[in-house]
Amino acid sequence: MARQMEQKQGDELVDPIAQAPGFDDTESIIGFWGHPLHAMSVAFPVALTFCCFGADLLYWWSGEVFWARAAVWAAGTAFLFGLAAGATGTMELLMVPGIRIRSAAWTHFVIAVLLLSLLGANWGYRLQGYEAAILPYGILLSGFNVLVVMVTGWHGGKLVFDYRLGTSKGS
Ligand code: HEM
């Protein structure tokens, strides 16, 4: 019996990453009074990416130049707020050992950098003529950005809810 137990223990798979010092160190450190800045700031680029697509659709439907102007503002602010959100996320990724060591956090980084490049391209393209830019490429780009922001946000949520990264272990 004792021999069987020993054998069972010997067969157990050991994850070398889980043995690393700081593996369980996953609390958010970039925040105000323990309230994580990344979680607070991502709402803005997510909402503005949707607003840009919405304004493009309304321009397509109505032909009103107002919507083209709304879309270029939404595209620009989505990009700038996205950069700010990305900066808080990157600080968390690099400074918290338990986040830095998990590949899922780096996957989120790669998806987010793709998103930021697309948001920047969408804004830059419109700066050369925000009304003419919408049909067809502007609206196609903003529609695609909605898909990528959904994937980014969904994956970020997994980091928090499944891996419990950036959460407080406090009281
Ligand atoms: C560019 C670099 C980025 C890095 C390195 C990064 C990293 C992280 C990390 C480590 C978390 C886990 C929670 C935490 O520690 O705060 C997280 C959560 C999250 N991220 Fe990012 N992120 C980046 C950009 C973005 C962007 C651009 C978006 C969306 C526009 C985004 C959306 C989210 C969401 C929605 C969560 C879940 C927040 C929650 O439910 O509390 N991230 N991110």
Question: Exposure pattern of 1-38 as b/e (b: 16+ CB <10 Å)?
Answer: eeeeeeeeeeeeeeeeeeeeeeeeebbbebbeeeebbb
If you search the block for the tokens 């990157």, which residue do you land on?
A: 90
Whole-structure pTM value? 0.92
Residue type, 1: M
- For ligand 1, the distance from its centroid to the CA atom of residue 142, given in whole angstroms, is 20
Q: What is the pLDDT along the chain (171 residues), one digit of tens a residue?
A: 455 555 555 678 999 999 999 999 999 999 998 899 999 999 999 999 999 999 999 999 999 999 999 999 999 999 999 999 999 999 999 999 999 999 999 999 999 999 999 999 999 999 999 999 999 999 999 999 999 999 999 999 999 999 999 998 865
Boundaries of every domain in the chain: 37-161
Q: How far is the CA of 159 from the centre of ligand 1 (A)?
A: 8
- 156 within ligand 1 shell (Cβ under 6 A): yes
